[in-house]
Structures are given as C-alpha cells and as structure tokens.
A and B are shown apart, each in its own frame.
Chain A
C-alpha cells in the first residue's frame, strides 16, 4: 500500500487531533507503521513530513506528534534502520526529555530505541550515555503523572538491564538520581519496577569504595521505609498485583547488596519483635535471604541479637499442645504456623552457613535448664505450661540445628547427648568419673516424657540428616560422630523405648506413644552407616510384631505399633534397603501371614487381616506373599468347613474375601503384578470349590456367598482379557462337572418348570452365583464357551428365582458379538441366536392360547417369556420371576441400544394394563413387579452392567427409553380403568422419570408436570411407594427451581400447591414433608398474582407443620411460614 502524501497528512492529522476516537487514531498509526514496514515510505520522508508537528509551538500538537513518532518506532523494533538515523533519533528524543509537555512521547521513543533488536541497528554506548544524562538532568520522576512515572521507571530498568556497561561510568550521579527518582513512590505497579531497579543497580557497583557503598544509607532509607509491606488491595485490580509479589520484590531489593547490612539487619530485627504476624514472617524471610547474600563476615556481628530474636520467635510461635495421637507418629506432633516454619528455615540457614552460630545455641542457658525441667516433671501432663513450652522449643531448636549439617549434628550430640542419656538414666557417672552404662533393672524404673521427646527429636534429626546425605552422595560414608554416639547407646535406648511400650497401666498412653515413636525412629536409620545394627533392627521389629500378635485386642498400642510397622515397611521399600527387607519379610510379614493362615490364635480374625493387609501393602513382594498366604488360608478354611462343619471357618473365609476386596483390589493399579496374583487366587477359589465335592452339612452362608461373588466380580472386572478367559474356562469346567448341567436338559416347558420341585443344592447355588459373577464382569472380548447351553441354563435358573442368573443373562445379551474386532467373542453364539433362545424357546404347554380379538396385539407377546409374564401359564412365583428376569435382560439390551428392548417394554406395559391381551388383569403382586421392573431398567446398578464391568453403553440410552416409554404410559394412564392399574402405571412412570437426567425433564416440563402431580397424589395413598414418591417429588422440586419449569408451574400453580400441601402432612417419610415445604418456598418465585390467592391456604397448612414430630420439618416450616407471610407488606401473621 503506497501512502500518498496527502493520505499521510490525513493520517497525521487524525492522530494529532484529540477529538478523534482512539480507535481511529490507532488505525492511522497502524497505517503509517505498515507503510514504513513495507518500505513504501522511508523514515526520513516521514520525519520530513512531520516536521511541522514535531516542532510547532502548539504544545498539544507537538506532544501528539512526538508521541506518534515514538509509537511508530515502537512498532518498528525489528526493522533494520541505518546507524545515522538511529543516532539522529536518539539525539532527538533525548533532547525532548527536557520538553516536559512532550514527556510521554519522549519516554516512549527512548524506550523503543533502547529495546531495538540487534540485527536492526542498535543504539551505541555514547548515545545511551547521552540519553541517560538527559534523563537524569531533565526528568523529575516524582513530579510526573502515574503513566509517565511508570514509563520513566521502565526506561531506567531498561538502561540498567541492557546497557549497564554504558552507564557504569556515570557512577555517583546514577545512584543519586536513582534515589531521587524512587523516593516516595506509592503506586504498586511502579513499586514492582522500583524494587527491581534497586536489585539491578546493586551488582553494578560491587566495590567497597564505589558509589553504591557511599550512598547505601540514602538508598536504603528510600526503600527500607516500605518494610514490612502493607498492602490490602484485593486482586481485582487491573494490574493484578498481589501482596506476595510486592513483598518478594522488596525482599530481593533489600538483600541485593551487602552494603545495606548495617541498616537492614537492625531494622529487620526490630520488625521481628513486632506483634504483627505479617511483619514477623517478612522479617524472617528477609533475614534468611540477607544471611545468604551478605555473607558470614558481615552477619557475624549480629549473631547475638539474631539468636535472641530467633529464640523469642520460637517461644512465641509454639503452642504447648503436644499430640500423642496416632497421626502424629511421623510428624513433630505440634502445630506449626507460618512464622514457626520460617523461623525453622532461618535457623537452619544460619547454622548451615556458619557453624560458629551454633555456639550461641549450645551455650544458651535455657538449654542447660531444660534438663532440670525434664528431671523435675517426669510426666508430660504434670508440667506447667511454661515448662512444656520450654521442652518443646528447645527440642525443636536442637533438632533443627542438628539437621543443618553433619558438623552441627556432631556438635550438638557431643554437647548434650551424653547429658540427655544421663538424665534418662541410661548412663551414670561413678564417683571416680568413669561412665557406666546401666543395666536393665534401673532403666525400667522411670520414664521422663520430656527427655524421651527431646531424644526422639534428636534421633529423628540425625536420621533425616543421614537420609538427605546419602540421597545426594550414596557412596560416601559419613564421618558422623553423632552417629557413633547413637551407636554406642543404641542398645540401652532400644531397651528404654521397649520398656516404655510395654507399660500397661491406665495412663500409659503417653509412655507407649513415645516408646513406639522412639522405636520407629530407631528403625528408620538408613544404610551401611546406620548406628542401629541388624540384630537391633530385628529386635525392634520383633517387639512391634509381638504387640500386634499379643492377645490384647484392639488397643491404642496395637494401632500405634501397626502404624509404626507400616512406616518402617514403606521406608524400606522407598530406599531399597535389601538387608532390612529380608529381616522385615522374615520377622513381620511371614509371622503375620502365617497367623492369617492358622486362624487359631487368640486375636479376632478381622484384626489379623487388617494388620496383614496394612503391613503387606508396603511392598510388592509382601503383597505376593500375602495373596499366596490368603489363598492358602482360604482353601484350608473352606475345606475345614466342608469336612468338619466348622462354622467359624466359613466366617473367616468371608472376612478374608472382604479384606481382599476392600484393601487390596483398589490398589491394583499401584502394585505391579497384583492383577496376576488375584487371577490366580480366583482360579484357586474355583479349584477349591471343585474339590469340596460333597457337603457334610447344609449351610446358609449368605454372607459367604455374597463376599465370594463380590470378590469374583471385582477380580474378573480388573483382569485382562486373557486372564478373564482362563478364569471363565476354569469356571466352566467346574460348572459342567457338577449337577447344574442337568438343569440344561430341562426343557423349557411349563410342566417341566412347574414340576421342578427340587431347589438347587447349596453347592450348586454357590457355583451358579459365582459363575454368574464371572459372566457379569467379563469383558465383551472374553470368550464364553458353549454359550447357547449356558444361556439355557441361566434362563432356567432365573425362572427358578436366582437374580444373579438374570443379571448374568442381561450382561451376556449386552456384550455378545460386540467385542473388539470380533475375533475373540463367543463364536458359537450371536446376539440373534441368544435372543432366539431367550424369547422363542418353544413351549409345549397343554394350554393353548386362545387367539381371540387380541391376536394383533403387541409384538413379542407371542414369545415364551412374555406368555409366562402375562400369566398364561405357570404359578404366580414363576410369573414374577420371569418379569424381573425380563427386566434385567431388557436393561442389557437397552444399554447397547438394541431394538428388542421395545418389545420387552411393551410386554411389561401389557402387564400393567387393567385389561390386557390375556383378557384379565394380573395379580397385584405381578403388577407391582412389572412396575418395579422399570426401576431395574432405568437406574444404574452397582452390581452389574456398569463401566467397571465392561458393559456396552450407548450414549443417551436413558433418553431414548424415556422418549419411547413415556407417551405409552401417559396414554395408558388416561385410559386406565382400575385404580390398581393406574397406581402401578404411575409407579412405572415415576421410575422412568426419576432416573432420567434433569435436562430431559426440563425440556418437557409442560407435558410432564401434570403427570408428575397426578403421580404424586396417587402414590401418596400407599406407604409402600414412599421411596418412589420421594424421588418423584425431587423431580418436581427440580422443575420448580428452573426458569422453564416455573413457566409451566405458573399455569399449574393451583394443583401444585394443593398437591404440596397434602404432602406436608405425609406421615410415612420425613424427607417428603421437608422437601414439599421447601418446594412451597420455591413457589414464591412465581408471579405474585399467581400465588397470592393461595396465601391463606398455605399458611394454614404450614401452621400444622410447625407442630410436626420431626425437628427438621419444623425448621423448614418456620422458614416457609415467614416467607409466605411476608409476601404482602404490612400484614401480620397473627
């Protein structure tokens, strides 16, 4: 685009004219910039054309003109310009810095020039100096407006950041100018830059005789006054600056140069003693930074003051509550606030940086007095609060200092460990000055809680130090005399802790807690340099394990010990301590697993299982051991039950399976190889059941069967397809070897089914249930052998009333033929064939169905199942079972989107009619089953046909069912003749409506609301339907709170209110009353003229609810009454 000269003038005029809109001005700026970019206009041309604007005496026009040129340059940062042009431009803008009316443009121009890219021609050092000089001489930053101030700071920042060498020569002048510019700045955005400026300035003049050193006091005075930063704006500011950003910036500025030290440290120490928490936190953080930057030499003279301030901070930020709960076994046991944490990290930094600081710590008098305190009050709870505080703070300070470095650890151990041991009674000085280690006898006499706490803290510090040490350099051994000190006392220490654990008087919780915590700490020293030898480590494990296995029941000790063992186990696993792992395996794991196998110890089996599963889940090897152990235990318990009829064994089996399902299965993703182990377990279950051929007794171990089914389902659910196949194979072979196949041979005839007097034996029932579980959880790609006869078998058993069989059948029709690639599916049976077996298996009943007027009735009604459902033949039991079975099959079909579900739905609907094709109404119980079948079809099941069990789920399947079923039910309700059929139709409708997503309801509120209301009043007549009623009421309340729903509610206000008022006194379910009152409140959103007429009625009804037997209802009633009473102003409710 070539810019004609007059066009250019137009653009220029537009930009300069302040009456134009800013978007127009932007457009002309862009136009000029782009013509420069594509070289249709040269910069010289432009400047020549603009001469008048740049030099005019009209201040406004000149300012705009200069700004335009500056903005153009800003757009052209990457465009090559030759050096003379750049030089000229720098000269021009630098000069214009003196023109305060055109300041903004001049600053933008300078910034644009300074930020030019290397390749495009940059400003020379001489130019920079000229610009900086002009800036310093002419610009009074603090006299400028906010925007210009920000630009000026950015310019300074750019100078310091990118052209530091050039301006270095300006020395004193620069520092002085900086102080002047910064002094008194208040805007947060500018301050962010200001702090950065100081941070950039500091490293330029490191020399102690340089300009910064001499002006440090002035500069610090300017920035020090912001400390501690007070900033309360919330983040909805446009710049989005937070207090943390500002405070971080200030900290960096303060710690930027050691020359600030004489001014900064006293200020920080003073602020540390303030009572304002923010000031404390900021001071601690800043002191930490300063310690690092200022260096040891400069910090040294402040050590005394620092130590006392730090100590006071520790005292004031620590509480006296020491927790002895199980959760604090792996933590310090008291609450740490932010101040405390920052104090810890400052202390650690100081000690790490300079070991001489430790002198102040170790020589502190309070450290000497703490031993007296410990000695005076053996029991923690007897200590007065100041003493508690003392013990906690000193322990904390010592352990933090010890953790700082190996050297500090050694010094602290040398200084106090011996005294500590003495206080605890582990060593004694004889009169000759020799040190004697005490024997067991005296150790057990007295425990000093404070001392134990201090000791544990120190041990933990030493342990953490070794851990951190070996993590960074695993090969180097550590010359740790603290460690060797621990080593020499490790035996008596472990004895003390053990004796504490074994205390068993009433108030021994603290003893036991400290004992276990001590043992735990001793058990977690790492690696070759560990001060705890292998035998000692094993002693610890033996002690803890013996607590678990002792016949003491579930006590605090037991739980603490278990937690400690789990901690040690995960520690071993995390650091790959192979030696310790072996000890752990042989002492802890083997013991517990064998205990789980034997099942004849004093402990309740539940506790053994809990301990075993907790301990074993710390490492994959242990898990393997445990699953094997459980497998063995399962097999032996089951056979014990079968052979000896021992009922306790079968209970153990159930518990074992539950433990497996609840504890191990959820972790299958974390633990490698667990899946394989579990599959093996499942196969063993089948084998064991196969072996137990005959029963010595009848058992109705429902609990066991349930547990076994859950486990089987879950295991198959998580297993890979190949493993699933092997489980299915095994299961199939068991099934075909038992008496179940005999069932297959039963022809599906009415007579045969009726005549089947014998129920399944309990063994067959177990096998069938387990097999059904396998089928339920199998993935679509798993192959099921001999599917046709299995379907037959399941069909027969479902008609005998086994719900799992029905669920398995539903799962089968859901998954058949839809496996990935179709390669591995049950080749011998397609979905079509399966359906053919289920629906069309012919029936040689003696009774011939009269094909009178109802011959043309519904599709599918000619099939066997539907005939049974409709009661053409067979007993009532058979009928209800068939209906339920059909529901599960229908659910499977619906979820995969198969059309046949419609046939099933029609059969079920037919069952609900008062006058169906069989010419008479069904038995009420059968009708009820048919109505509830819709709940089975529509609701989500935990047990089968869900994602976990690999069901095939088409999206929106519920919506699809909803849209086909609701119109049918609606028309039937209109025409129904008996009240029973009407009620049942409403139950069915309620199931469908309450299981469909809310959005679907909201799209159809107008049509549905009258139906729902009618349903509510019909269902409220019978207490049996209370749950259904409640879910329907929830749907109604959902529609009332939505705008779409409110529209139709407004039309139906009369009936809605009438219906809700009736429900406020529904006697059978409290939540119904509560929700209906809430709905009444929601109705107040409707237009005033619609609800006002009902005011009296509602208030009367609510008056009764004020006296409801349930408190929650009364509360809602008060709220509702108040809300309704206040819809007319000025009138009173009395």
Chain B
C-alpha cells in the first residue's frame, strides 16, 4: 500500500477507566459467571488499529455498548464504527475482531460482526463479507492477511 493513510489524524478519545467487576465477592465455587458484555469487550478493546498505534477503544471503533451477547443461546454480535466512512481498513478491523473472538470464545458461539448502520459507504457489502464463512476462511488462508491481523492483536504479555 503506497498511498497515504486513510485517516491521517483520527480523534483519540480518553480511555474509559477499566470498570472493576462489582461482583468479585462471588467466592462460591459453584456459582457460574456467565460470559457477559464486559468480558467480550475486554477481549477486543486492546486490538490495535491497522494504521495507527492506538487501540480500537482509543478511537471508539468499539465500545462496551456496541457488544451484544446472549450466553444462553451462544450468540454474540459486535457492531463497530469505522473512523471514516470510506475506510478501506474496515474489513481488516472486522477480521481482527472476528479472529480475536474466535480465539477467545468457546466454539459453541456464533459470532456476528457488523459495521454500525450509516457509518460506512459500502455497509451491506462489508457486512456480507465479514459474516461469510467461506470468505473469512479464505482470507485466513492468505499469509499476508494473517500476518496483518496478528500484528493488530495484542500479544499476550
């Protein structure tokens, strides 16, 4: 990619203070702690933007409220907002979120990734692309793309 940055000067929002879990008092061995919104958000908030050193949380591409989760029915939907409408990086961001969740969630989950309505020029095409099993699998066969995704995912420690 020779061309310049797509969004040269993104707005960086102050980080929200990490909300401490209020229910830490659960010391009971047997009470289950279902997967919830915050937990999913914790997985994806530190993903790096493909073209900036900031995280998706810094740029408000994802927020806690943009995550919908239904643990019982094993369904999660993440709605993200690209920083600019014509952002060609939106597919990469979507792919990163998907890969991160694939790695972090049990296999029973169905993951649905969408761009926020009205936030992108080719919204429908994008949604279709991000949720098409074959196309995602094909993308992940491409070593260049995988490398790019891996760079964006926060390394563990």
With both beta carbons as reference points, the residue of chain A lying nearest to B153 in the complex is identified as A1122
Docked-complex contact B29 and A1068, CB < 8 angstroms = yes
B121 within 8 A of A: no
Knowing A1130-B143, A1132-B140, A1132-B146, the reply to whether A1109 touches B33 (Cβ < 8 A) is: yes
A1070 within 8 A of B: yes
A1121 within 8 A of B: yes
A1111 within 8 A of B: yes
Docked-complex contact B103 and A1133, CB < 8 angstroms = yes
Knowing A1123-B156, A1132-B146, A1134-B140, the reply to whether A1109 touches B32 (Cβ < 8 A) is: yes
A1069 within 8 A of B: yes
Chain A nearest CB from B20 CB (Å) reads 13
With both beta carbons as reference points, the residue of chain A lying nearest to B150 in the complex is identified as A1126
With both beta carbons as reference points, the residue of chain A lying nearest to B141 in the complex is identified as A1132
Docked-complex contact A1110 and B156, CB < 8 angstroms = no
- Residues of A in contact (CB 8 Å), total 21
B106 within 8 A of A: yes
B107 within 8 A of A: yes
Chain B nearest CB from A1075 CB (Å) reads 14
Docked-complex contact B106 and A1107, CB < 8 angstroms = yes
B-side binding surface: helix, strand, loop or mixed? Answer: loop
Checking A1069, A1109, A1119 against B156 with a beta-carbon cut-off of 8 angstroms, the contacting residue is A1119
With both beta carbons as reference points, the residue of chain A lying nearest to B104 in the complex is identified as A1118
Docked-complex contact B106 and A1110, CB < 8 angstroms = no
Docked-complex contact A1106 and B102, CB < 8 angstroms = no
B87 within 8 A of A: no
Q: What does the 1/0 interface line of A529-544 toward B look like (CB < 8 Å)? A: 0000000000000000
B105 within 8 A of A: yes
Chain B nearest CB from A8 CB (Å) reads 65
Q: Which of B120-152 contact A (CB under 8 A)?
A: 137, 140, 143, 146
Docked-complex contact B104 and A1106, CB < 8 angstroms = yes
Docked-complex contact B29 and A1107, CB < 8 angstroms = no
Docked-complex contact A1122 and B143, CB < 8 angstroms = no
Docked-complex contact B146 and A1111, CB < 8 angstroms = no
B108 within 8 A of A: yes
Docked-complex contact B140 and A1122, CB < 8 angstroms = no
Q: What does the 1/0 interface line of A1094-1127 toward B look like (CB < 8 Å)? A: 0000000001101101110010001101110100
Q: What does the 1/0 interface line of A498-514 toward B look like (CB < 8 Å)? A: 00000000000000000
Docked-complex contact B33 and A1111, CB < 8 angstroms = yes
**Once the chains are docked, how many angstroms separate the CA of A1118 from the CA of B103?**
7
Chain A nearest CB from B23 CB (Å) reads 10
Interface residue tally of chain B, by bracket? 20 to 34
With both beta carbons as reference points, the residue of chain A lying nearest to B106 in the complex is identified as A1107
Give the chain B neighbours of A1123 by CB distance below 8 A: 156
Chain A nearest CB from B70 CB (Å) reads 15
Q: Which of B94-116 contact A (CB under 8 A)?
A: 102-108
**Once the chains are docked, how many angstroms separate the CA of A1114 from the CA of B32?**
12
Most buried by B among A1106, A1121, A1122: A1106
Checking A1069, A1107, A1110 against B108 with a beta-carbon cut-off of 8 angstroms, the contacting residue is A1107
Give the chain B neighbours of A1103 by CB distance below 8 A: 106-107
Give the chain B neighbours of A1119 by CB distance below 8 A: 156-157
B85 within 8 A of A: no
Most buried by A among B35, B39, B103, B105: B103
Chain A nearest CB from B141 CB (Å) reads 9
Give the chain B neighbours of A1114 by CB distance below 8 A: 35, 39
Knowing A1111-B39, A1122-B156, A1123-B156, the reply to whether A1069 touches B104 (Cβ < 8 A) is: no
Q: What does the 1/0 interface line of B34-71 toward A look like (CB < 8 Å)? A: 01000100010000000000000000000000000000
Give the chain A neighbours of B105 by CB distance below 8 A: 1106
Give the chain B neighbours of A1133 by CB distance below 8 A: 103
Knowing A1122-B156, A1123-B156, the reply to whether A1110 touches B33 (Cβ < 8 A) is: yes
Chain B nearest CB from A646 CB (Å) reads 36
With both beta carbons as reference points, the residue of chain B lying nearest to A1111 in the complex is identified as B33
Checking B32, B43, B104, B157 against A1110 with a beta-carbon cut-off of 8 angstroms, the contacting residue is B32
With both beta carbons as reference points, the residue of chain A lying nearest to B34 in the complex is identified as A1109
Give the chain A neighbours of B137 by CB distance below 8 A: 1134
Give the chain B neighbours of A1068 by CB distance below 8 A: 29
**Once the chains are docked, how many angstroms separate the CA of A1106 from the CA of B107?**
9
Q: What does the 1/0 interface line of B12-24 toward A look like (CB < 8 Å)? A: 0000000000000
Give the chain B neighbours of A1122 by CB distance below 8 A: 103, 156
Give the chain A neighbours of B106 by CB distance below 8 A: 1103-1104, 1106-1107
Give the chain A neighbours of B32 by CB distance below 8 A: 1109-1110
Docked-complex contact A1069 and B29, CB < 8 angstroms = yes
**Once the chains are docked, how many angstroms separate the CA of A699 from the CA of B129?**
76
**Once the chains are docked, how many angstroms separate the CA of A1118 from the CA of B33?**
16
Q: Which 3 A-B pairs have the closest CB atoms?
A: A1109-B32, A1107-B106, A1106-B106
Known: A1109-B31, A1123-B156. 11 other contacts (CB 8 A): A1070-B29, A1103-B106, A1106-B105, A1106-B106, A1109-B32, A1109-B33, A1110-B33, A1114-B35, A1114-B39, A1121-B103, A1134-B102
28 pairs across A/B with beta carbons < 8 Å?
A1068-B29, A1069-B29, A1070-B29, A1103-B106, A1106-B104, A1106-B106, A1106-B107, A1107-B108, A1109-B31, A1109-B32, A1109-B33, A1110-B32, A1110-B33, A1111-B39, A1114-B35, A1114-B39, A1118-B103, A1119-B156, A1121-B103, A1122-B103, A1123-B156, A1125-B103, A1130-B143, A1132-B140, A1132-B146, A1134-B102, A1134-B137, A1134-B140
B interface list, Cβ under 8 A from A: 29, 31-33, 35, 39, 43, 102-108, 137, 140, 143, 146, 156-157
A interface list, Cβ under 8 A from B: 1068-1070, 1103-1104, 1106-1107, 1109-1111, 1114, 1118-1119, 1121-1123, 1125, 1130, 1132-1134
